[in-house]
Structure 1
Amino acid sequence: MRLFRKKLKQEHKVMLQAERAGGALLPEYHRPTSECPHPERWHMYDSMTAEAEVLEFLQTLVMTIKPQLVVETGAFLGASTLWIAKGLKANGFGRIVSCEFDPVVYARAKERIAASGLADWVDLRNESSLEMQVEGTIDLFYSDSDMEIRAAEVKRFLPQISSNGVVLIHDASSHLRVVREAAFALEREGLLSCVFLPTPRGMVLAQKREGRQ
C-alpha cells in the first residue's frame, strides 16, 4: 500500500465528483455574499461548472442576440459549451469556439460533446486562451478560464469583439475577488461597461466602450 498518493489537481477532483454525481442537480453551496445572500436558491452540477440557472441564461442569451461567432474560454467538461450550442442550434446558424487547457479534462469534454448531438456547432480546442487563434468578429465572448488570466484574455480578444457584442465574465462574486476586481479594472481603463449580476458565483455582463454608437 502506498503511503503517499499524488495529489489530484482540483480540476480532476471536481471532474471525478461530477462523474460520480451522474448529472444530479444540487443546491448551490457557494457562500452567501452581500449581493447574493441566498445562494441555495440556485442549483449546480459541480463546483466548477456554471450554476444551472446561468447555463439556461447562456442559451437564452444566444437565442436573444443571435451571434454568428461565440468564443468561450475554460470549457471544463463542456456543460456551458453545450448550452450555448443548444442556442446556436435553435437559431439555425453560428458556431462556438472553446478551449480547455488541461488535456485530461479536454478529453472528457470532447467525449461529452461528441455524444451530445451538438458537435457540429462546436470547435473545442486543447490550448490556452492566451494562445488560441480565432478568425472573425466575435459576437459573444464568455470568459470562464483560470481566474488569474481573465483580464488578460479579455484584453487579448477585445479588438475582435463586435461593438454590439456581449462580454460575459463568470466567477465575479465579491467572494471571488480576483475576477471582480479585474472587471472593475477593465471598466476603469475605459475598456468595458459592466453590469454585475447578483448570482452566487457572480457574472459580469458587459460591452466594450470603443465603437459604441
Structure 2
Amino acid sequence: MRLFRKKLKQEHKIMLQAERASGALLPEYHRPTEECPHPERWHMYDSMTAEAEVLEFIQTLVMTIKPNLIVETGSFLGASTLWIAKGLKANGFGKVISCEFDPVVFAKAKEKIDASGLGEWIDLRNESSLEMTVDGTIDLFFSDSDTPIRASEIRRFLPQISPNGIILIHDASSHLKVVREAAFALEREGLLSCVFLPTPRGLVVAQKREGRK
C-alpha cells in the first residue's frame, strides 16, 4: 500500500478540472472585493483562465486597435490565446506570441491550439517570459503569468511596447495584492498610466508614459 501520493501542482489540478468540465461555463468563483462585490455575475471556464467576459473584452480590444504583434505571457490551456486569435482572424492580419513555462500545461495548450484551426495566428512557446525573445514592436501586451514575476516581465518588454500600444495585466484585484501593488508601483515610477477595471480577479488597462504625445 502506498503511504504517500505525489502532490499535484496547482496548475495541473486545475488543468484536470478544466478537462472534466469540458468547456462548460461556470459562475465565477472569486470572493467579493470592495471594487467587485458581486463576482457571481461573471463567468469562468476554470479558476486560472481569465473570466469569460474578460476574454470577450480582449477579443473586442484586438478587433478595435488592430494590432500587428501581440505578446501574451502565461498561456495556461490556451483559452485566452484562442480568443486573441479569433480577433486577429477577424482583422485578417497579425500574430500573437504566447508563452507557457510548464511543459505539461504547454503540451495541452498546443494540442488545443493545433485542433482549433487558428494556429496560423499563434506562435506558442514553451518558455519563460523572462527569457523569451520577441522581435519587433509590441502593440498589445497581455500579462497573465505567475504573479510574482509580472512587474519583471513588464519592465523587460516595456522598451518594445509601442507608445500607442495597450498593456493588460490580469489578476489585479484588491484580494490578489501582489499584481495590484506591482501595477501601482509601475505607475508611481512614471512607467505606466493605469486604469483598474473592477472585475472579479481584476484587470489593469495601461499604456506606457514614455513616448506618448
What TM-score do you get using the length of structure 2 for normalisation? 1.00
Match of 2:175, SS? Answer: coil
Alignment of 1:62-81 (within 5 A): 62-81=62-81
Match of 1:75, SS? Answer: coil
Partner of 2:102: 102
Partner of 1:201: 201
Q: d(CA) in 2 for partners of 1:160 and 1:142?
A: 13
Q: d(CA) in 2 for partners of 1:183 and 1:207?
A: 11
**Identity percentage over the alignment?**
85
Match of 2:31, SS? Answer: coil
Paired AA for residue 8 in structure 2: L
Paired AA for residue 136 in structure 2: G
- Displacement of 1:131: 0.2
Partner of 2:55: 55
Match of 1:169, SS? Answer: strand
Alignment of 1:172-183 (within 5 A): 172-183=172-183
- Displacement of 1:2: 1.4
Paired AA for residue 193 in structure 1: S
1:10 aligns with 2:13: no
Alignment of 1:35-184 (within 5 A): 35-184=35-184
Moved over 2 A (4+): none
Q: d(CA) in 2 for partners of 1:200 and 1:104?
A: 28
- Displacement of 1:3: 1.7
Partner of 2:34: 34
- Displacement of 1:5: 0.4
Match of 2:19, SS? Answer: helix
- Displacement of 1:64: 0.2
Partner of 2:191: 191
Measured against aligned partners, the alpha-carbon deviations of 1:135-192 in whole angstroms (never above 9, x if no partner) come to: 0000000000000000000000000000000000000000000000000000001000
- Displacement of 1:57: 0.5
Paired AA for residue 129 in structure 2: S
* Residues paired across the two proteins, number: 213
What TM-score do you get using the length of structure 1 for normalisation? 1.00
- Displacement of 1:44: 0.4
Structure 2: segments with no counterpart, 5+ residues:
none
Match of 1:72, SS? Answer: strand
Q: d(CA) in 1 for partners of 2:189 and 2:93?
A: 34
Measured against aligned partners, the alpha-carbon deviations of 1:14-44 in whole angstroms (never above 9, x if no partner) come to: 0000000000111001000000000000000
Q: CA RMSD in A?
A: 0.4
Q: d(CA) in 2 for partners of 1:189 and 1:108?
A: 38
Structure 1: segments with no counterpart, 5+ residues:
none
Q: d(CA) in 2 for partners of 1:70 and 1:175?
A: 28
- Displacement of 1:85: 0.3
